[in-house]
Structure 1
């Protein structure tokens, strides 16, 4: 046999005979039985089993072998599922397994991973197909036209209707994270936003439209990444609480501000918005002479005419308005008690003027009548509402207490102030507190938080944009 096998023709004829025999079922079964017996004998040896396992693991690491195994298992399952008994048994096994919550979680995670892979594949296909199609200019023009029709409308009437629908509601949607107001297209409901519970804790309880909490797109993007938004309230971006005392008119605010920003504010030709033109001159002011010059009035509603000038010698004034002296003094007193910026200035407010006025009135009455009034008498007179224009004794007509009226007060008198006269302007880059000292009714005499105390650094450009949107 060995000599015959050396011949090539004999070997080929022998292989063909084996192939023909293997095509028969009997020979196949005999070969399988012989191989199984040989494997069972060999597997009794421990070393052979270990080597066989290692060989299988190596083959499974290759993609081709994995695909072959999957195909073989799928074919076997398809054949088995043709029988009803196997299908029923498989359904029962799944039901038993799904009673375990760990199995359910495993299935959910597997489905999620499969969906991610399918989505990525679909996105890649879409990108490739769009990139190839967009090489033609006709498709690009068609897409632009469709976008215009979708946003603007096909006809003029439709575009007008859409425009009025968008402008009907202004920026009335307040973000519960940054407290800024937005349009409807820029916000999402907090309940429908897909964010974690930790991110939800960064939002406040602020509600606006329909009594619901809303989130703007900028805050939502950072909350999805589980980061603190730059302009959020939790990052220290919040206006101080304004008391009623600081509800002042523009000129009343100027009289108690330690800095006066001289600038030209003009109305834009389109839109009617105000804009600053030219340079802004930051002038420091000494409040004490202005406060001393203000007339003291008992009634809060008494107003006086005031003109603000750059110099007293100038004919024209920068600002003129009627102010309430008592309200101005109250606001300054509150700032002196609650603001560190005003406490350091050591401004003194004369609080004994009411006592001096009452004493002067008492002296005048004693001179005219020859009798003095006690404090109880004054309180009883103030509390009593009885008024009679005709006296019971002598029948004289008119108001009997006209002698104690303040007849010297001239309502037509105009007070002129030039607090910035002979003062050297300070550069806005050098004066760090200029913004807080210029507008005490907005900042309430308080500084902003430093970036060291924030969770996330905020640039001044972001603060300026945030302030414009908040106002």
Structure 2
């Protein structure tokens, strides 16, 4: 066929004609072939026009000749109309763009005003049914006619009426949406106060106790390691608190503990006390100054109010007594035990009696300010050594005494050591129904209102935690030990629930099979044993599941466009501190000291977390996910909220923006690179405004976003002068994509070294 095609001209012409007819028929009948052929010819013509200069000049000349040859009056009129139409469209586009920009600016300003109004509001609305302190969007105005009806249960009706009559007319009356829906259905809300959630007022004797004194009067000691979350220049005295390790509750012998406490000389006596799990242990669980008189008064109140304290008897203290030291050895551990001495023995010893009389006279003289300065200094020293107060206590309160004596006093005597739970076994956190009321008697003085109460309406654990931590009564939210107790017990309940479900459904195995080593190794390798921990927030399995979710989003949506980190500047936000002040009942001031801010933040950890969550949600709704669209049309986002080293929350968040150009590595073409640069310049800026332009933004950037002036210890870890993060960095006048340099030979290595030296010097 090839030879015939080459040698026979007639056959060749007929074959060419047939091919042309076939191609024409295919071009007219097959639309896919026609579109592909047109696209291919366009690309071919375009490449030919760009590569061949002669063809390009011929086409330009042909177009000019055609334009000159057809320059008639009608053509001129059509061209004028066309140019006028183009100018009108261009002007319209410019006007519309200005309108859109102005509209966007107005929307941004309106959303900014809304955001500032939202963050100034706190959980100031109190529900009259559950007494929870909620935000304005979580409650509705209370109208009595909507709920008080004839066929309503008597206890709910009486409860609502009592609160309605109790509240003053000047204050607004609110009810949360959950309670409102339940009452409208003639059902009792699960977290209402009537559902055995009411707690009595805390007596003054319990309010004045410190942490160690509260543990001394508890019938269940909650052993947990609470640490101070210090960071940077923040001292441990002002830092927030965190917990490490498990929680163990052990029954405590309160009566023996009170008996072993040193007998106070006066009501203001302070004793340095160490609390241990066992006396033979070297580690001290808690150490603090206590007032034995306050501990006795608190126990005396509890014996009258709390039913579990009825059998505890407290002996009255005789004013005429002394204390003595007895040393006992517990496996190389020296403990100071103070025992009361008999009054008859004291009266028989004349020397001790004279010392007691002289001490009493000196106390009276010190109280009256009548001190004889003619006394010999040596006698004063000897008398102070014999004074029983110098061994166990500090001086009474006065105007010359520092406010926090723990930071200024140095004890040269051995402290008193106690282990009230040494002889007892652990209590079960899940089966002991009275453990909450016994571990925290300062929160439940009458023993009523704990989670394990039998209630008319079933109360879930999460709802109970909300009822306690979000309550208008701040006693629960201000107690860090109680917060950690609820958190640990909630995780424990989730773990046990997951284990039961796993053994019933996922792991149907008998007790004999659980002893098989090969079977257990198989389950461990398949990660089937720990899979039930996926529901426990913070566990490795939980974050592994969230990581899978993030990978799934990346496969569906591609790589995220932006990665945003939002930190909680709680010490810089005045709205935070004002809300803390309002909830404590103090007057709001214009400015606060650093110590005042940190103390308020430490005393209100739950309120701080709630305010951050509200601020974060409002910011996302008004500026990121919708509203002003500050970073474009966001398709999806993923956030992980975690705690910083100092205890405040912050969020890490990748977001996906619709229509954003995608970077494909070094293979990215120049057009896409230019689009990426324009996209970044549209939403990201490094401009530093002056004080005259925007003083607030200038100060914020200077204090918060200028790393070179705020180096931490981590920055100067390896070098004393060079930051490990490379700040300050070289300044660039334009945005560009920085890609790693491929080093293949020695010349390129030397070139990279020179580049690094130049950048370091800059």
Of 312, 319, 333, the match for 1:347: 312
Out of 241, 244, 251, the position equivalent to 2:204 is 244
Confirm whether residue 194 of structure 1 aligns to residue 146 of structure 2: yes
- Give 1:361 shift: 12
- Cα drift, residue 458 of structure 1: 2.7
Distance change in 2, residues 1:244/1:322 (3 Å): same
- Quote the Cα distance in structure 2 between the aligned partners of 1:428 and 1:298: 40
Task: Kindly provide the CA deviation profile for residues 367-387 of structure 1, in whole angstroms up to 9, marking residues without a partner as x.
Answer: 8999xx9xxxx9xx98xx866
How far does residue 256 in structure 1 lie from its aligned partner after superposition?
Answer: 1.2
Displacement of 1:232:
1.6
Measured against aligned partners, the alpha-carbon deviations of 1:144-199 in whole angstroms (never above 9, x if no partner) come to: xxxxx99xx942x5544433321212112111111111011112222487333567
Q: Partner of 2:319: helix, strand, or coil? A: helix
Cα distance in 1 between the residues matched to 2:181 and 2:254? 47
User: 2:593 — aligned with what?
Assistant: none
Q: Answer whether contact 1:188 1:214 (CA < 8 A) is retained.
A: yes
* SS state at 2:442 partner: helix
Contact 2:130 2:467 in 1 (8 A): no
Which ranges of structure 2 fall in alignment gaps of 5 or more residues? 1-102, 151-155, 232-238, 323-341, 394-410, 472-476, 478-762
Spell out the pairing of 1:317-466 with structure 2 (5 A cutoff). 317-343=284-310, 346-356=311-321, 363=347, 388-389=370-371, 406=388, 409-411=391-393, 412=411, 413=413, 414-448=415-449, 454-466=455-467
**Corresponding residue number in structure 2 for 1:183:** 135
Across the aligned residues of Structure 1 and Structure 2, the Cα RMSD in angstroms comes to 4.5
Larger radius of gyration: 1
Contact 2:346-2:353 within 8 A present in 1 as well? no
- How far apart are residue 234 of structure 1 and its match? 2.5
Aligned in 2, Cα 1:322/1:175: closer, same or farther, shift over 3 Å? same
Cα 1:387–1:267 shift into 2, 3 Å? closer
- Aligned counterparts of 2:125 and 2:274: Cα–Cα separation in 1: 40
Please give the secondary structure, in 2, of the residue aligned with 1:282: strand
CA pair 200-425 structure 1, distance change in 2 beyond 3 A: closer
CA distance in 2, matches of 1:254, 1:468: 21
How many residues were matched structurally? 306
Q: 2:200·2:446 contact (CA, 8 Å) conserved in 1?
A: no
Q: Quick check: 293-302 or 433-442, which moved more? A: 293-302
Deviation at 1:332, TM superposition (A): 0.9
Q: 1:469 to 1:208 in 2, by over 3 A?
A: farther
1:265-280 alignment runs, 5 A limit: 265=226, 278-280=245-247
> What per-residue deviation string (whole Å, max 9, x for no partner) do you get for residues 225-249 of structure 1?
2333222223322122211111121
Closer/same/farther in 2, CA of residues 201 and 425 from structure 1, 3 Å limit? closer
Q: Distance in 2 between matches of 1:264 and 1:312?
A: 18
Structure 2 vs 1, CA of residues 369 and 240 (structure 1 numbering), >3 Å: closer, same or farther? closer
Residues 162, 336 of structure 1: alpha-carbon distance in 2 compared, 3 angstrom cutoff: same
**Please, what TM-score do these two structures have when normalized by structure 1?**
0.54
2 CA distance for matches of 1:241 and 1:317? 33
Counterpart of 2:217 in structure 1 is 256
Are residues 1:229 and 2:181 paired? no
Q: 1:192 to 1:259 in 2, by over 3 A?
A: closer
Matches of 2:159 and 2:263, distance apart in 1: 49
Counterpart check, 1:166 vs 2:118: yes
Question: What's 1:43 paired with?
Answer: none
Partner SS, residue 341 of structure 1: helix
Change (3 A) 1:356 1:279: closer
Residues 431 and 454 of structure 1, relative CA distance in 2, 3 Å threshold: closer
Taking the aligned partners of 1:369 and 1:264, their CA distance within structure 2 comes to 46
Name the CA shift for 1:306/1:405 in 2 (closer, same or farther; >3 Å).
Answer: closer
1:192-217 Cα shifts (integer Å, max 9, x gaps)? 87333567643214548952222111
Cα distance between partner residues in 2 of 1:389 and 1:332? 38
Distance in 2, matches of 1:282 and 1:303, equals 27
Give the whole-Å Cα distance in 2 for the aligned partners of 1:276 and 1:339: 29
- Quickly say closer, same or farther: Cα 1:158–1:299, change in 2 above 3 A: farther
Measure the CA separation in 1 of the matches of 2:169 and 2:211: 32
Distance 1:420 1:159 in 2: 57
CA distance in 2, matches of 1:237, 1:194: 24
CA 1:326–1:224 in 2, change beyond 3 Å: closer, same or farther? same
Q: Which has the higher contact order (CA 8 A, sep 6+)?
A: 1
Matches of 2:321 and 2:424 in 1, distance apart?
34
* Residues 279 and 185 of structure 1, relative CA distance in 2, 3 Å threshold: same
| Counterparts of 1:281 and 1:387, CA distance in 2 | 50
* Secondary structure in 2 matching 1:177: coil
Task: Please report how far the alpha carbon of residue 336 of structure 1 lies from its aligned counterpart in structure 2 after TM superposition.
Answer: 1.9
**What is the alpha-carbon distance in structure 2 between the residues aligned to residue 300 and residue 209 of structure 1?**
44
